[in-house]
Amino acid sequence: MIQGNAVGLDYHQHSVQVSVLNGAGRELGNRACPNRWEAIRDFAAGFGPVARAAIESCAGAADLAEELVQHAGWSVDLAHPGYVARMKGSPDKSDYSDARLLGDLTRVGYLPKVWLAPQAVRELRRLVRYRQQLANEKRAVKLRIGAALREQRLGAAPARRWTLRWLRWLESEAPLSEQSRWIIGRQLARLRQLEEEIKQVLARLREVTRDDPMVARLLTQRGVGEVTAFTLRAEIGRFDRFNSGKQLSRFCGLSPRNASSGQRQADAGLIAAANGALRAVLIEAAHCLIRFDPRWHALAQGMLRRGKPRNVVVAAVANRWVRGLYHAMKGTHADTNLNG
Is the residue at 86 inside a domain? yes
Widest pairwise Cα distance in the chain: 78
User: Residue 54's beta-bridge partner residues?
Assistant: 8, 77
Structural domain count, the chain: 3
Question: Which of 79, 97, 114 lies at the terminal end of a domain, its last residue?
Answer: 114
Residue length of the chain? 340
Residue 44 maps to which CATH number?
A: 3.30.420.40
Same domain, 233 and 295: yes
Is the residue at 322 inside a domain? yes
Q: Are 77 and 54 within 8 A, CB to CB?
A: yes
Is the residue at 338 inside a domain? no
Residues whose CB falls within 8 Å of the CB of residue 142, separated by 6 or more in sequence, listed in order: 162, 191
Is the residue at 337 inside a domain? no
Going residue by residue through the chain, which has 340 residues, state the pLDDT in tens, using 9 for 90 and above.
Answer: 557 899 999 999 999 999 999 989 999 999 999 999 999 999 999 999 999 999 998 888 999 999 999 999 999 999 988 888 888 777 778 999 999 999 999 999 999 888 888 999 999 999 999 999 999 999 999 999 999 999 988 877 888 999 999 999 998 888 999 999 999 999 999 999 999 999 999 999 999 999 999 999 999 998 899 999 999 999 999 999 899 999 999 989 888 766 555 666 556 667 676 788 899 999 999 999 999 999 999 999 999 999 999 999 999 999 999 999 999 998 776 655 676 5
Question: Which of 208, 224, 259 lies at the terminal end of a domain, its last residue?
Answer: 208
Backbone angles phi, psi at 27, to 5 degrees: -80, 125
Same domain, 229 and 129: no
Same domain, 75 and 131: no
Same domain, 57 and 159: no
d(CA 195, CA 198): 5
Is the residue at 335 inside a domain? no
Same domain, 132 and 223: no
pLDDT value for 85: 83
Per DSSP, helices labelled H in the chain are 37-45, 61-67, 81-88, 95-108, 119-152, 164-172, 178-208, 213-218, 226-236, 245-251, 276-292, 294-305, 310-329
Distances (CA, A) of 217 to 45, 102, 145, 157, 332: 45, 38, 39, 43, 8
Query: Collapsing DSSP states into helix, strand and coil, what is residue 214?
Result: helix
Q: How many CB atoms lie within 10 A of CB 246?
A: 14
Question: Which of 208, 243, 266 lies at the terminal end of a domain, its last residue?
Answer: 208
Q: Are 290 and 269 within 8 A, CB to CB?
A: no
Full residue range of the structural domain in which residue 233 is found: 214-329
Same domain, 132 and 92: no
Is the residue at 172 inside a domain? yes
Is the residue at 336 inside a domain? no
Is the residue at 334 inside a domain? no
Same domain, 127 and 77: no
Same domain, 29 and 99: yes
Same domain, 315 and 250: yes
Is 340 exposed, middle or buried (CB count within 10 Å of its CB: 0-12, 13-18, 19+)?
Answer: exposed
Same domain, 13 and 100: yes
Same domain, 72 and 176: no
User: Residue 33's beta-bridge partner residues?
Assistant: 16
Backbone angles phi, psi at 113, to 5 degrees: -90, 150
Same domain, 200 and 240: no
